[in-house]
Structure 1
Amino acid sequence: MSFLFVSKFEKLYGAGLFFLLLLGVSGIDDFIANYDKYHSVCKKMVYQDKQCEEKEVIAFHARLSTNMRNIKDKDVVVFGTVTLNTGKGYNPTTGKFTAPSRGHYSFTWTIATDAGYMFSTQLVINGNPVSYNHVNGKTGSGNNYETGSSTVILKMEKNDVVSILLHDAGVFVARPDWSSFSGFKL
């Protein structure tokens, strides 16, 4: 019977069982009576039950507000229509995302261009290129719009900055609403 109790207890409380046994807890009544004390000790030891841990949510999504035409090489592509900005990391005025906290982040950007035009971009972190996206509406037939998407996962420190820059020179057009930039902390 005690083996069955220990087995169920381990499933519910994991590593906490070993800690409680070391402190001499012999039954469920002792556990309930001393729960607040043990919980306080565990918190001081920086132990936290993963089921109760609240995850910091950082996520954003923004779309181009207007056509982007003939911007200069290395200019920031500003996605000005924000649909989500939990954690307030994305700045729709500058087009830059600043990491509110350290961690791993995933970023995706999609560019749509008019038929007959191209649009090449690069994602940079702190000014250093990491990934590229090229959309070529000059190939193919008819009046088809072309799209391209890229995704990257980055390890970031607090206050690292990510943005999408134009990569190349020439006649470029990116369509509003169909072009977007999003990211979230894993």
Structure 2
Amino acid sequence: MDSKIPFAFQLSFIGFCLMISFTEIQKGDCAEVSNTENELAEDIFSTLQSLRSEVQSLKAQIGVEGERSISPEERRVSKKKRVAFYARVSPSITKIAAEDTIVFSLVETNSGEAYNPSTGEFKVPIAGTYVFHSNILSGHGKFIETCLKVNGKDRMLMYSGSKFFGSGSNMAVLELKAGDIVNIAKQGPWGTVPLYVHHLWSTFSGFLLY
């Protein structure tokens, strides 16, 4: 049977053939069947034996494919690629200096444990393409400029502020190497002193795209 035909279809077809075969056998008393019917019965039994062999072969192939699809090595690789985090500022940051890292200490998601809520840094566990997003809410009547840094270099800028509460957000897609450090920081000295980052609405998230 063609190996390109899906296993489930092959098994369904074999089951259908088995049903027809047993129906033909049960149509009459085997002791009273004609020569033609005897020949038909022999053909059916021969077909059944062939089908049984096919079933055993397909079961073996399915077993091999199943083991291959969930091999321990593939499980380990898949687990390594589960990299994602989402954290929020809590409590509000009332004093921050130029170039200081903004620490998002309230962690909601941290698959892969690559984000450190104590330092506010994300350490890239495996090389790949990553997506990062951040939203910064300034204080009432204040403004602040922030940025996403990779190994200390600005890669994404945000401006937050208005006469009430103003938020700024941005997203970046970056090719990174294992060991790279990503963080959100105060960009330069610009902003309303004392520089302020409002809690909970200010977030930092990222994940491995591929």
Q: If the length of structure 2 is used for normalisation, what is the TM-score?
A: 0.63
Partner of 1:161 in structure 2?
Answer: 181
How big is each residue's C-alpha offset from its partner over 1:91-115, in whole Å with a ceiling of 9 and x where there is no partner?
1111100011111111111001122
Q: CA offset at residue 30 of structure 1?
A: 3.9
AA partner of residue 77 (structure 1):
I
Partner of 2:207 in structure 1?
Answer: 184
Which whole-Å CA distance do the structure 2 matches of 1:54 and 1:28 have between them?
Answer: 32
AA partner of residue 58 (structure 1):
V
Which whole-Å CA distance do the structure 2 matches of 1:81 and 1:42 have between them?
Answer: 37
Q: CA offset at residue 42 of structure 1?
A: 10
Partner of 1:94 in structure 2?
Answer: 119
Partner of 1:24 in structure 2?
Answer: none
User: 1:129 aligned to 2:154?
Assistant: yes
Partner of 2:89 in structure 1?
Answer: 64
Q: CA offset at residue 180 of structure 1?
A: 0.7
Runs of 4+ in 1 over 3 A off after TM superposition: 27-43
User: 1:108 aligned to 2:105?
Assistant: no
Which whole-Å CA distance do the structure 1 matches of 2:111 and 2:151 have between them?
Answer: 21
Q: CA offset at residue 57 of structure 1?
A: 1.1
Q: CA offset at residue 86 of structure 1?
A: 1.3
- Aligned CA distance change for structure 1 residues 28 and 179 (closer, same or farther; 3 Å): same
Q: CA offset at residue 150 of structure 1?
A: 0.7
Paired residues for 1:36-55 under 5 Å:
54=78
Which whole-Å CA distance do the structure 1 matches of 2:145 and 2:132 have between them?
Answer: 17
Where structure 2 has 5 or more consecutive residues not aligned to the other structure, the ranges are 10-53
Q: CA offset at residue 84 of structure 1?
A: 1.4
Which whole-Å CA distance do the structure 1 matches of 2:134 and 2:69 have between them?
Answer: 42
Match of 1:146 among 159, 166, 170: 166
- Percent identity reads 29
- Aligned CA distance change for structure 1 residues 128 and 9 (closer, same or farther; 3 Å): same
Structural RMSD (CA): 3.1
Which whole-Å CA distance do the structure 1 matches of 2:64 and 2:4 have between them?
Answer: 23
Greater relative contact order, per chain length (Cα 8 Å cut-off, separation 6+):
1
Give the stretch that moved more between structures: 66-75 or 174-183. Answer: 66-75
Which whole-Å CA distance do the structure 2 matches of 1:38 and 1:63 have between them?
Answer: 43
- Aligned CA distance change for structure 1 residues 38 and 117 (closer, same or farther; 3 Å): closer
How big is each residue's C-alpha offset from its partner over 1:142-173, in whole Å with a ceiling of 9 and x where there is no partner?
xx311111111111111111011101214222
AA partner of residue 145 (structure 1):
F
Where structure 1 has 5 or more consecutive residues not aligned to the other structure, the ranges are 13-26, 139-143
Paired residues for 1:21-32 under 5 Å:
29-30=56-57, 32=59
Which whole-Å CA distance do the structure 2 matches of 1:41 and 1:168 have between them?
Answer: 53
Larger Rg: 2
Q: CA offset at residue 41 of structure 1?
A: 9.3
Aligned residue pairs: how many?
159
Q: CA offset at residue 181 of structure 1?
A: 0.5
How big is each residue's C-alpha offset from its partner over 1:41-92, in whole Å with a ceiling of 9 and x where there is no partner?
999xx9x7xxxx8462111111111222342211111111111111111111
AA partner of residue 185 (structure 1):
L
Structure with greater helix share of residues: 2
Q: CA offset at residue 136 of structure 1?
A: 2.2
